[in-house]
Structure 1
Amino acid sequence: MTNTISPESPAAWRDPALGTRHELTLPQGTLTVFDSGSGDPVVFVHGLLVNANLWRKVIPPLAREYHCVAIDLPFGSHTTAMPDADLTAPGLAQLVIAAIEKLDLGPVTLVGNDSGGAVSQLVVAARPDLVARLILTSCDAYENFPPPFFNFVGLAARAPGGLTSLALSMRIRAVRRLPIAYGWLTHGPLDRAVGDSYVLPVSTKAIREDVRRVIGGIDSKYTLAAAKTFADFKKPVLLAWSAGDRFFPERYAERLAADFPDARIEWIHDSRTFSPEDQPAQLAAAITTFLNATRAESPR
């Protein structure tokens, strides 16, 4: 079984705007990251069935002032399988922690989206010393991990041949716009190259086995446990939340803002869950304003 997707495959394409590609050798396996810019480090964490391409339109304006690092986590749209890694939600958080330590970046500003936001919360709970500021866009939190609508993904992961059938169907671009795919996560269709990089890796057996383990390790017990530590995290937090999100209602942003001692909300308008796809300029502006306003509070 091959563990790596060919660099020439459309599944392996990453936007040059992400910066320089690096392969990190970690105890858990090989992790791909992209970095650009210089200054205070900002680390971007994507969620299930996307990869670092999610941040391709957000990073360039931020990289003018900050050192931006986007991680390709083994969420099913990655190119190198991690068969020996713990891919439960806490295991994914440990991958982010290992990457930050390997690159000697901490403390960082951590930016999470969707299930990557849940992972970011677990990073804060486990290693608050590595996080100078936290930015959560629309994401899983508390008992909403995963949102009830996505229980069908769990069923597909458990059913014989379920993930294989899902992977084959997602090759059809029209299927990608359905609610069971990316249709309710973005307002418009994904760029073809980006969509291919999200869905094609799951056709590889080793990658499919990774995502099966990831889905099996999603459980609200982890986010509920992490939430018990929020009161102790007194560093700045931005909730750059999509107004009217279908999967992550505004009440979750408000609940997070109440639980973190130093939190503020910035609503991202005319956007669904993937605000880096729908409103990258609006999101980048909100992040920049927050980073500049809290620069004096950063330990760097």
Structure 2
Amino acid sequence: MSLLDRSILVDGVRLAYRDRGQGEPVVFVHGTPSYSYEWRDVVPHVEDAGFRVITYDLLGYGDSERPLDRDTSVGAQTELLVELLDELNLDTVNLITHDIGGAIGQRVAIMHPTRVKRLMLMDTVSYDSWPSATWQKIIREKVDGYSAMGPDEFESMLTKQLRMTLADETVMDGDNLRAFLAPHRTTLGRVSFFQHQVSHYDSTYTEELADRLGEITAPVRIVWGAQDSWQPVSYAERLAADIPDANLVVLPQAGHFLMEDDPAAVTAQVLEFLREDGGR
């Protein structure tokens, strides 16, 4: 199921990653509730197009380490990404980001501007857009008692949430659903999900950027699913207005996990963006 085939030690923690190709570097940053698996239908095409592509699991997600004593907030993940780039000897990269990965991308572009050549934001959290109403309800009702949640109750809850990410819910079924549930099918996986993901659904990390989005100097393309029920298109329009010269593309038949609903359109957008201004 995993795209990833190696690990690297960064600031004392193990990150699972994939590094293919010799061209201009591109880093894919996934969202939540997800992991690098979401890029499986996009990344190989970008690799084949002649780019060096790095794909990884955020700390506490997927195949990366799940240390119970480490901060895995958006702020901490931002600095860990910069340290990962240092470990890989990458000075400047193209960032392709989704959901909370987009919050990380916004923060890197503002706080470490020399590290970002281009930034793509897909259905990113922003401003006060998160957590969504359904996640707010789960946080209120479940987080304090998550240790008592059995595997069946957990999978029912997460399956319902995962299906909300799609314009076509039937895509989230069978082997695909099992792949998204796989990292959480142990007691550690379920505890880690709440500790490393849900407990850090905190809009502070994007609200504090609201007045600084105009500082982004890298070219930005915003790609959004028109049927996103978690992050409405109105937030995409607001981002496009606040980020200098940002370009907005809305995919009509896609939801929040737009790379699940329309992987071909997402791949086309990524490659078109990477080839702008002299890219390969």
Alignment TM-score > 0.5, same fold: yes
Q: Which stretches in structure 1 are left out of the alignment for 5+ residues?
A: 1-12
Please give the residue correspondences for 1:1-300 in structure 2 after superposition, counting only pairs within 5 Å: 13-14=1-2, 18=3, 21-63=5-47, 64-74=49-59, 76-78=61-63, 80-155=65-140, 158-161=143-146, 164-165=149-150, 167-169=151-153, 171=155, 178=160, 181-186=161-166, 187=168, 188-190=170-172, 192-214=174-196, 215-295=198-278
Q: Aligned AA for 2:222?
A: L
| Secondary structure in 2 matching 1:68 | strand
Hey, what's the Cα distance between the residues in 1 that align with 2:84 and 2:149?
A: 30
Deviates more, 1:145-154 or 1:71-80: 71-80
TM-score (norm: length of structure 2): 0.88
Q: Aligned AA for 2:33?
A: L
Assess if the C-alpha contact under 8 Å between 2:27 and 2:95 holds in 1. yes
Assess if the C-alpha contact under 8 Å between 2:117 and 2:218 holds in 1. yes
Could you tell me how far 1:216 is from its partner in structure 2?
2.1
Q: Which stretches in structure 2 are left out of the alignment for 5+ residues?
A: none
Show CA shifts across 1:139-161 (max 9, x none): 21100122222113323552223
Deviates more, 1:155-164 or 1:89-98: 155-164
Hey, what's the Cα distance between the residues in 1 that align with 2:239 and 2:29?
A: 18
Hey, what's the Cα distance between the residues in 2 that align with 1:128 and 1:204?
A: 39
Deviates more, 1:116-125 or 1:56-65: 116-125
CA distance change for structure 1 residues 177 and 204 in 2, over 3 Å: closer, same or farther?
Answer: closer
Show CA shifts across 1:12-46 (max 9, x none): x31xxx4x622011124111011223311111111
Deviates more, 1:255-264 or 1:69-78: 69-78
Assess if the C-alpha contact under 8 Å between 1:47 and 1:115 holds in 2. yes
Assess if the C-alpha contact under 8 Å between 1:241 and 1:267 holds in 2. yes
Hey, what's the Cα distance between the residues in 1 that align with 2:78 and 2:189?
A: 19
CA distance change for structure 1 residues 61 and 247 in 2, over 3 Å: closer, same or farther?
Answer: same
Q: Aligned AA for 1:291?
A: L
CA distance change for structure 1 residues 27 and 264 in 2, over 3 Å: closer, same or farther?
Answer: same
In structure 2, the partner of 1:7 is none
| Secondary structure in 1 matching 2:59 | coil
Could you tell me how far 1:275 is from its partner in structure 2?
1.0
Q: What percent identity do the matched residue pairs reach?
A: 26
- For the aligned residues, what is the CA RMSD? 2.4
Could you tell me how far 1:61 is from its partner in structure 2?
1.6
Show CA shifts across 1:199-225 (max 9, x none): 232233444343333322222121011
Assess if the C-alpha contact under 8 Å between 1:78 and 1:207 holds in 2. no
Hey, what's the Cα distance between the residues in 1 that align with 2:264 and 2:250?
A: 13
| Secondary structure in 1 matching 2:264 | helix
